[in-house]
Amino acid sequence: MNKIIKSSLKGLSITFGHLFSSHRKRKVLPASDDNYFKQLGGTNTIQYPHQQLPIPEVGRYQLDVEMDDCIVCDLCAKVCPVSCIDIESIKATEAIGQTSDGTTKRLYAAKFEIDMAKCMYCGLCTIVCPTECIVMTNEYDRSVVDIKDLTYQFSDMTPEMAAQKRLEFEQQQAERQAAKLAAMQKKEGGA
């Protein structure tokens, strides 16, 4: 019985010691400071968002896509184990530009969405991207009220623009097919 009371009093003394010392003001240090975790007195609570813990360089947080570098190859969507990446591509009638590493872009991104509510932050999509346009950022706090707000849209193509690009590609394909048919008929007629 004596050990129980002794142990309880020791625990309560530690608790009350922290309670009374937490009201003392202490110097506010950034969490990245070497002495931050060595402070014994005062509160140990991080005053978020004014103070933040240091973010590791290899941390996996929010995904971001640099659409100017995206060639819409669809590899990130194919490798995603939870299918949180949704891509719809439209073939261009000619080369539409180049990425920062010199790769020629031949597809339009009619739709490029990432549902971060489904994402398991594995980083596989960043590994397979040939142009390295999809990356994990250091931003980890994206609190939203509605879960639908966690679906990020990276393509800026409107449905009208997408329909126009599809129509242009279909017309080009029809013209090529007609030219090929005319060439075959001319070849058969000349033989």
Task: Give 45-67 pLDDT, tens digit per residue.
Answer: 667 777 777 777 777 888 999 98
Closest by alpha carbon to 61, among 115, 118, 120?
120
Task: Give 93-110 pLDDT, tens digit per residue.
Answer: 888 888 888 888 888 888
pLDDT score for 166: 87
Q: Is the pLDDT of residue 17 over 70?
A: yes
Task: Specify the pTM.
Answer: 0.67
Q: Is the pLDDT of residue 36 over 60?
A: yes
In this prediction, residues 167-182 reach a mean pLDDT of 87
The pairing of beta strand 85-91 with beta strand 107-115:
antiparallel
Q: How far apart are CA 30 and CA 121, in angstroms?
A: 27
pLDDT score for 55: 77
